[in-house]
Amino acid sequence: MSLEVKKIQSLSAQSIEDLKAIEKIGGLEHLAQLSDELKKAMADEEQLRGVSPMLPPYFAELRKNLGFLLGTAKSLQTHGVNRTKDIQGLLDQLSHIKQVTIVKALVFYSKCPVRDRELYVHSDFGFGVARSDQRRDSATPCPNAER
């Protein structure tokens, strides 16, 4: 199994954009105000029953569902913020891994006494040396060099 760093980085960046859209969910103030007004109207249940006996249970059910909706929206915003931070941490870790690999590769190459080979760094597979006419995936380790 290979770690496809570039693909993960690309999808992570796209995911952060998706999460930022979720974080911007707003404009639900009118739903909150409606819920408050229904609560006020339910305070005088007899008056509601006088208008229609179906209003009190209908108002109660609607308030309950609006409460779930508002709570879910707030939870989704919170998850959006938290998952954005998680993915940014992942990107930081992947960036660190790539930087460490390049530094190790340069140290590795500097210790290689054979100069007819060239250094290659592959983000998914690490590093090594190969002759310019040799396929890089079949490269051999540099003699007398420690990784």
Please write the tens of the pLDDT for every residue from 92-115. Answer: 888 877 666 666 666 665 666 555
Distances from the Cα of 144 to the Cα of 98, 110, 147, angstroms: 24, 11, 10
Q: Locate 84 and state its tokens.
A: 């954005």
CB 24 within 8 A of CB 116: no
In this predicted structure, what is the pLDDT of residue 100?
60
Extents of the domains making up the chain: 5-111
CB 121 within 8 A of CB 140: no
In this predicted structure, what is the pLDDT of residue 7?
86
CB 19 within 8 A of CB 83: yes
Report the distance separating Cα 100 and Cα 102, nearest Å. 5
3-state secondary structure of 51: helix
In this predicted structure, what is the pLDDT of residue 114?
54
In this predicted structure, what is the pLDDT of residue 12?
94
In this predicted structure, what is the pLDDT of residue 81?
92
* pLDDT confidence bin for 125, thresholds 50/70/90: very low
Q: Which of 92, 91, 82 minimizes the C-alpha distance to 7?
A: 91
3-state secondary structure of 108: helix
pLDDT at 31 over 80: yes
Q: What contacts 90, CB < 8 A, 6 or more positions away?
A: 8, 12
Report the distance separating Cα 48 and Cα 31, nearest Å. 21
